[in-house]
């Protein structure tokens, strides 16, 4: 019996990202017309490739963890997926506009948690009645008590603010949700509530991307993991297999065994089967939008 074909939510098709950075000389102040002319003639830029071309498909109902060391390109990829930036080459398609936790649910530090729930829901397009109906569910997921809800957000710890932000952002049942480093705080009860909420989102035919340095969180909450290192897609598979490979690499790097770490990285990258996106009939299907 053959497996059912994957119904895509997000398609990344040979997408890459290269930044152009001004040289130090170009940003130095110049006085007078002659100095400005010399500066204009002598401006130099350096190209930095944050992401090398990569392709993958995320199906409806999948939760995908994204891991990698600092500066590996994880956040750049999430910005491409959410449409905050356009790829230098290639294309990214999605069946709906992805919601990025922390962008679509911005919090106001000067007002109370209670007011932030109302404002956050309104900012995401709810009516006042809908925002009021969602209030109890948001509070329950955040785990904040009545006293905390009356305090201004600036009195919250980073963990309390992150929990409230997650609860507000997921109150709209987004079809595609991107969470970047938001679930590393909170106790076991909050992590369990979060896992249940992500399960609900998947059951509603959406997909979730979770970027985190916490491998235990990734293993608990994701069905699939993508490892990006130095801008290169290195592994794409089960949470157990990918986190094991990443752990070997990270441990070798931490202990100064750079040659061994490089060998691990090169081996994993060579073992990866590169995905090639092939549209049926050679044309992109309807119902999926280029970001």
163 and 282 inside one domain: no
Name 228's bridge partners: 233
Q: In this structure, how many other beta carbons lie within 10 angstroms of the beta carbon of residue 80?
A: 24
Q: Is residue 115 part of a domain?
A: yes
Q: Is residue 2 part of a domain?
A: no
136 and 201 inside one domain: no
Residue 27, domain extent: 8-97+174-290
73 and 180 inside one domain: yes
Q: What is the pLDDT of residues 275-287, one digit of tens each?
A: 888 777 666 655 5
Q: List, in order, residues 6 or more apart from 55 with CB less than 8 Å away.
A: 12, 13, 14, 15, 90, 274, 275, 276, 277
pLDDT: which is higher, 284 or 99: 99
Q: What is the pLDDT of residues 52-81, one digit of tens each?
A: 999 999 998 899 999 999 999 998 999 999
Closest CA relative to residue 157, chosen from 132, 187, 136: 187
Q: Is residue 3 part of a domain?
A: no
**CATH code, 238:** 3.40.50.300
24 and 166 inside one domain: no
User: In angstroms, what CA-CA distances link 118 with 1, 103, 164, 173, 201?
Assistant: 50, 16, 12, 16, 21
Q: Is residue 90 part of a domain?
A: yes
Domain boundary among 173, 192, 227: 173
* Count of structural domains within the chain: 2
Residue 247, pLDDT score: 96
Q: Is residue 150 part of a domain?
A: yes
Q: What is the pLDDT of residues 11-51, one digit of tens each?
A: 999 999 998 887 655 555 555 555 555 555 556 778 889 99
Q: Is residue 285 part of a domain?
A: yes
198 and 131 inside one domain: no
Residue 2, pLDDT score: 44
pLDDT averaged over the chain?
Answer: 84
Q: Is residue 180 part of a domain?
A: yes
């Amino acid at each position: 019996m053959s497996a059912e074909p994957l119904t895509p939510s997000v398609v990344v098709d040979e997408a890459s990202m290269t930044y152009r950075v001004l040289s130090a000389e170009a940003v130095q102040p110049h006085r007078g017309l002659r100095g400005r002319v010399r500066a204009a003639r002598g401006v130099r830029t350096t190209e930095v490739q944050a992401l090398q071309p990569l392709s993958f498909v995320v199906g409806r109902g999948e939760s995908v963890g994204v891991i990698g060391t600092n500066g590996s390109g994880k956040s750049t990829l999430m910005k491409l997926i959410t449409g905050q930036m356009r790829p230098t080459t290639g294309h990214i398609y999605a069946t709906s506009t992805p919601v990025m936790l922390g962008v679509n649910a911005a919090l106001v530090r000067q007002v109370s948690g209670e007011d932030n729930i109302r404002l956050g829901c309104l900012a995401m397009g709810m009516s006042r009645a809908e925002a009021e109906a969602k209030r109890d569910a948001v509070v329950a997921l955040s785990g904040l008590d009545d006293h905390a809800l009356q305090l201004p957000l600036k009195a919250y710890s980073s963990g309390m603010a992150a929990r409230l932000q997650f609860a507000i952002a997921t109150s709209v049942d987004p079809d595609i949700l991107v969470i970047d480093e938001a679930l590393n705080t909170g106790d076991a009860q909050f992590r369990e509530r979060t896992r249940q909420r992500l399960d609900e989102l998947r059951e509603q035919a959406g997909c979730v991307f979770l970027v985190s340095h916490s491998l235990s969180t990734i293993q608990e909450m994701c069905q699939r993991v993508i490892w990006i290192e130095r801008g290169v897609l290195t592994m794409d598979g089960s949470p157990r297999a990918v986190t094991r490979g990443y752990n070997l690499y990270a441990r070798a790097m931490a202990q100064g065994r750079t040659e061994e770490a490089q060998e691990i990285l090169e081996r994993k990258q060579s073992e990866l089967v590169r995905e090639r996106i092939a549209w049926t009939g050679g044309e992109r299907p309807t119902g999926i939008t280029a970001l």
